[in-house]
Structure 1
Amino acid sequence: MSIPKSVRSVGAGLPLAGLAIVEVFCFSLLVTAVSLLGAGIGLFLIPAAAIAARGTVNVTRRLAGARLEGGIPEPYLPEPPREAGLKGWWTRTQWILTDPATWRDLAWMLVNPVVGVLMVLLPLLLVAFGVFGLLMPVLWEDITSNGGNNWYFFIKVTDSQSALYALGLGVPTVLMGLFIAPASLRDHAKLARTLLAPTETSRKVLHLTRTRSEVVSSSAAELRRIERDLHDGAQARLVALGMNLGVAEQLLAKDPEAVRAILADTRKASATALNELRDLIRGIHPPVLADRGLADAVRALAMDSPLDVTVTADLPGRADAPVESALYFAVSEALTNAAKHAAPTHVSVDLWYADGRIRAQVSDDGHGGADPSRGTGLRGIERRLAAFDGLLAVTSPVGGPTTLTLEIPCALS
């Protein structure tokens, strides 16, 4: 038999109240550490005190966030690289003290033990006092004979009749406590979100830090790919061309026929190297994208794809080159994923511009089940779009169909 939500809500205030006691200790510890910064000791105490305070407040974030849609995410700025010596301690202390979330944590640890505890314990106090009123017909004689407080609200219990009046008041008191318990916990969670959730500025900083890291990693991987392609392809062929020309130079006077054969092979190798360089250039920034724009570049992708792809485009202008490039390669990756994993019979690509955003939708009738969390190429698409504050939405039930919607905020020329 499940316990009613209102009864569970009454009991849920106890761990939050206990957590507030720990927060008082962490508040005192962190404030003391900050006050000792001038003496030098705070340099070593502040990081440890901040770890304790943040760990405690994060428990509150999880408990309170469970009652709110979206929860309460951590707002802390990314930790700087660790360094040895006093410089490392100073860097960590500076990171903690310049993070606005540290001071918001302190404000919460100052407010919650008073306002927050009252909010979460009020239903429990009402229920407990109401139960006391319900038991007054049984307890009033013992209380009176022992000189205890025999007042219940405005009723002085001196006989069985006044005890019944107290019982009558106890019933609505219990019901009131049960009634307000869920709302009190929600209000406490909203108060926690107000002080502990990331601000708009911290959200932007965290987003920029994360996307910058992903862009750097993606750029490094792209540079390694280009270097590998050059080393294994065009560079090797050009080295072979030089060796062939050296042999031809040595044989020129002795065996003209052999030189002719070597030059013919060299000509073929140079054509192959040129094609590989062109393919590499297309992988960096396709000429058709630079010359004719995103719509025609995607149509060229469709013609080269082994799938049956149709493209429709309604773009009244052109976006900046980096935006076009990001969307082009994202669509290319989507088509590659569909060919590798979905086995579709048809794929449609739609491009349009609306509400200050350029959008692409790639839909296929394959077997579905695409999931960015499984480390497929979809994660790479997300990283590529995130560099421009873009988004990827995936709808792919098992059995299909799959629809990828890509968008990047931008202005068109």
Structure 2
Amino acid sequence: MTDHDLVRATRARLTQAALGLARTPLSLVGLLLIPLQLVAYPLILVTLGVPLLLVATALARRYTGLCRWWASRVLGVEVPAPHRAPENRGPMTRVRTIATDPATWRDLAFLPLNAILGVVCGVLPVAFWINGVLGFVVPLIWLDADDVEYVAMTATTPGSFVLAPLLGIAFLALAWWSTPRFARLHATVVKWLLAPSATAALTDRVRVLADSRADTVDAQAAELRRIERDLHDGAQARLVALGLSLGMAEELLAHDPDAALKLLAEARQSSTVALAELRDLVRGIHPPVLADRGLDGALRALALAHPLRVDADVELAGRPEAPVESAAYFAVAETLTNAAKHSGATSAWLRVRHEGGRLSLMIGDDGRGGAVAGEGGGLRGIERRLAAFDGTLGIASPVGGPTIVTMELPCALSSVKTSSSSGTA
């Protein structure tokens, strides 16, 4: 380690110790929230406690949220909030949700423990640094003293001048070693008390999966209704008309062959249109290009056929599973369709990668922005489609643009095949 690195590391340690000392008053401030919450519960009987409890709980959760944020910065891992989502059914329902939430009482137990840890972990490292510095400063004070008798009384043996620097070195080494460890100890306790427990995480996961399953069932039902409607209004109606035309042609064939030939020509035309509609319907369920050429080829074809100019950058070393492949294809198609319809964009781009066991798709456009996943909208439908595969949807769309939609789907690739392309339409 060079001298410059040593100075920089020392400055970082001293900054960390100073920040730990600065957090000490913040840790003690949390104690004020304890009586505020405890007093609010009995006052619920006289109604005054309802707004008081809501305010006290909001302050406590904001305080613990700040502690979780700090702990996640120190530990390098996310510390999520374990609280139940409040139900918007009136103040009393919210109070009941707060009072029956185990995370509320864990927050309350955390406050005094955090105060103790904040003082210990904030003061001790600073004390070690100060004692280490004093080990070198005190002998200098003795040597500069004008009163020789005072020096003789204070330092009775010459060994005191050697012992003080040795103790200073020991304290500095202890301060160097303990400063980051005290911060990690405090952050670990914060994570242990404020992060969701295994049971709570499992319960939340079950709830997410139940919601995802319900969304998937609704989406499948809507898709079946769409297919039924398209068949009823399109191909089925044409096939019925085709049957009627053939029946009439059969009746006219004996005494009016010309009229029968005309009806047969119309029937042939109707059969061609019905066949085309059936092909379009099947293509909407699972495009043939997706089955034949895989996701990379299907997305390139989609980019080339799109009305906007789409730059496609797809790199996949194989093919995802068919359901994931289909979900990714239709999600990209829906996103690009939304960009063409609503964004006012003149061009778009697509980037697809598979890294770390996740299929990552990023779609951007140069439109006006302001896109949100509203209920009943196309982006909300994409979110539900991806959730069925434990996928996620992220939207960055400031007003004025640009819009960037990010999708991630956990999946594995099958047959190894190198595909790298860049297409423009």
TM-score normalised by structure 2 residue count: 0.60
Residues 16 and 120, structure 1, Cα contact 8 Å, conserved in 2? no
What amino acid maps onto 1:65 in structure 2? R
What amino acid maps onto 1:203 in structure 2? D
The answer to whether residue 347 in structure 2 is matched with residue 346 in structure 1 is yes
What amino acid maps onto 2:61 in structure 1? G
Distance 1:198 1:344, change over 3 A: farther
How far did 1:334 drift?
A: 0.4
How far did 1:57 drift?
A: 11
How far did 1:62 drift?
A: 4.9
Q: Which blocks of at least 5 consecutive residues in structure 1 are unaligned?
A: 26-55, 77-101, 123-185
Residues 30 and 115, structure 2, Cα contact 8 Å, conserved in 1? no
Residue 212 of structure 2 aligns with which residue?
211
Residue 329 of structure 1 aligns with which residue?
330
The answer to whether residue 60 in structure 2 is matched with residue 64 in structure 1 is yes
Residues 82 and 195, structure 2, Cα contact 8 Å, conserved in 1? no
Distance 1:348 1:9, change over 3 A: same
How far did 1:200 drift?
A: 2.8
Distance 1:59 1:238, change over 3 A: farther
- Deviations along 1:255-307, one digit per CA (max 9) or x if unpaired, are 10011111111111101000100000011111110111011111222233211
Residues 31 and 111, structure 2, Cα contact 8 Å, conserved in 1? no
Matches within 5 A, 1:63-142: 63-67=59-63, 68=65, 69=69, 71-74=81-84, 105=102
How far did 1:379 drift?
A: 0.9
**Whole-angstrom distance in 1 between the partners of 2:188 and 2:304:** 58
The answer to whether residue 37 in structure 2 is matched with residue 16 in structure 1 is yes
Distance 1:6 1:120, change over 3 A: closer
Q: Say which SS state the counterpart of residue 411 (structure 1) adopts.
A: coil
Residues 372 and 378, structure 1, Cα contact 8 Å, conserved in 2? yes
Distance 1:259 1:356, change over 3 A: same
**Whole-angstrom distance in 1 between the partners of 2:41 and 2:110:** 8
Distance 1:13 1:61, change over 3 A: closer
**Whole-angstrom distance in 2 between the partners of 1:291 and 1:231:** 29
**Whole-angstrom distance in 1 between the partners of 2:56 and 2:258:** 86
What amino acid maps onto 2:82 in structure 1? I
Residues 390 and 409, structure 2, Cα contact 8 Å, conserved in 1? yes
Residue 294 of structure 1 aligns with which residue?
295
**Whole-angstrom distance in 2 between the partners of 1:66 and 1:197:** 23
What amino acid maps onto 2:337 in structure 1? T
Q: Say which SS state the counterpart of residue 407 (structure 1) adopts.
A: strand
Q: Say which SS state the counterpart of residue 369 (structure 1) adopts.
A: coil
What amino acid maps onto 1:229 in structure 2? D
What amino acid maps onto 1:252 in structure 2? L
Q: Say which SS state the counterpart of residue 362 (structure 2) adopts.
A: strand
What amino acid maps onto 1:231 in structure 2? H
Q: Say which SS state the counterpart of residue 301 (structure 2) adopts.
A: helix
**Whole-angstrom distance in 1 between the partners of 2:233 and 2:28:** 70
Residue 412 of structure 2 aligns with which residue?
411
**Whole-angstrom distance in 1 between the partners of 2:104 and 2:303:** 56
Q: Which blocks of at least 5 consecutive residues in structure 2 are unaligned?
A: 1-24, 46-51, 70-79, 87-98, 117-186, 415-425
Distance 1:103 1:374, change over 3 A: closer
Seq. identity, %: 48
How far did 1:318 drift?
A: 0.3
TM-score normalised by structure 1 residue count: 0.61
Q: Say which SS state the counterpart of residue 260 (structure 2) adopts.
A: helix
**Whole-angstrom distance in 2 between the partners of 1:378 and 1:20:** 43
Paired residues, number: 289
Matches within 5 A, 1:14-413: 14-18=35-39, 62-67=58-63, 68=65, 69=69, 71-74=81-84, 105=102, 193=194, 199-373=200-374, 375-413=376-414
What amino acid maps onto 2:245 in structure 1? N
Residues 82 and 200, structure 2, Cα contact 8 Å, conserved in 1? no
How far did 1:190 drift?
A: 6.6
How far did 1:64 drift?
A: 3.4
Distance 1:323 1:290, change over 3 A: same
Q: Say which SS state the counterpart of residue 404 (structure 2) adopts.
A: strand
Point out the more displaced range, 372-381 or 360-369. Answer: 372-381
Distance 1:58 1:391, change over 3 A: farther
**Whole-angstrom distance in 2 between the partners of 1:258 and 1:303:** 45
Q: Say which SS state the counterpart of residue 74 (structure 1) adopts.
A: coil
Residues 289 and 297, structure 2, Cα contact 8 Å, conserved in 1? yes
Distance 1:108 1:370, change over 3 A: closer
What amino acid maps onto 1:378 in structure 2? L
**Whole-angstrom distance in 1 between the partners of 2:331 and 2:204:** 25
